[in-house]
Each structure stands twice: as C-alpha cells, then as structure tokens.
Structure 1
Amino acid sequence: LGFDNEGALASLNGQPGQKGDILQIPITFNVLGANVGEVGEQQTVNLKLGTVGSYTDSIAQFADSSSTKAIIQDGYGMGYMENYEIDQNGVIVGIYSNGIRRDLGKIAL
C-alpha cells in the first residue's frame, strides 16, 4: 500500500490510483472440508481497502505512533489480581489492579 504526503491511500502494489478509485485486493483460497462445488473450486473474497484520496472511506497512515481507544465501554477495564485478603467471616477477597474487589471463596470452619 502506498500513501500520499497527507497520509491518504494512494496506491496498491506500486500501481497508483486516481482520486475516487476504489482499491481492492482479490484473495483466493481453497476451503478444505467444505462443500463449495466441484473438487478444487476456489473461493474468492475481495478485500476493499478504500477510496483513493479519502480519509473517511479508507485506511490511512500518519507519521506518528498509533493506538486504539474504546469510545464506549460497557464494564470494567482489564485488570490483574494483585493481592487478596481474608475478612473476619473467612471470605477470600481478590483485589485487582483496576480497583475491583471480588469474593473468590470462603474458608469453611
């Protein structure tokens, strides 16, 4: 994939596209163990990489590090159990790095 100076998709396999062209790669493979028709018949999937010169309908590359960020999160972030404690009733409580405390079990007396 090639990108222009502003980070927009510009070419595929060294072949430049015109602004507005849709760049896609046909991927062909054999599906083993599936009835896809005659023996040896292949399946083809077209991987659409986006529109040349577009930032909203394309992949882009900018000269900076990248990361992902959740926009909406339903629940707690990932955490590791860092410690545990046993309360006066014999309940074993796990203490996690994300601030969550969970009952893990109870000591029978």
Structure 2
Amino acid sequence: MAFLIRSVHPLVPLLDIIKPHGKLIMVAAPEKPLELPASPLLQGRKLIGGSSIGGLKETQEMIDFAAKHGVIPEVEIIPIDYVNTAIERLEKADVKYRFVIDVEKTMKASF
C-alpha cells in the first residue's frame, strides 16, 4: 500500500501506520523542507519516494475510487492558443479548476 501526500504533514505518524516494506510517496513538492527521522524507516524497512505525478497504478486507483463514489473533476477547457494566458493565470493564482487543453478541436481546426 502506498500513501500519496501533497502538503506538509508530520511524517512519523504516517510512517507509523505503514506496514513493513510499505511506501510513502510524496506527490508534488511540500512548501517547507521535511524533517525525516531515520529510525521509523529502518524499523520495518519502509521507503519514501517522490514524484511530481502519481504512477499508472496510483492514477488508476484514484480514477476507480472517483468513479465508485461519483466524484467528477471540475475543469476549465481551453483552446491551445489560450495556454500562455492560462500560465499567466496560474502564476497569479487565478485558477479555480484544472485547465484541460482541447487538443481535438485544435487539431480539427488546423486541417
């Protein structure tokens, strides 16, 4: 079992609930450096890893969980020529939803 975390949390309580040979996966970068004591890792041979995105298995588990519980994403669909504006909005924290680029319409328009 892997736990996916995105923000700053005390690590020891999380490591305490991981089974031996378990993994803690950090997704995205925390705001502050983490304090990581070695003994909880060594006892039980636990691992900590990181990724800017989850792997295929974790992504599929998230999609399955969302489908089972009726969780749907809220997105803002944008054309490809809006990408620079979208990046500016990201920098200003002026984004309520995830941006999704409508590649299909972009491709149809160029042919």
Alignment TM-score, normalising by the size of structure 1:
0.19
The structure with more helix, counted as a fraction of residues: 2
Structure of greater Rg: 1
The structure with more strand, counted as a fraction of residues: 1
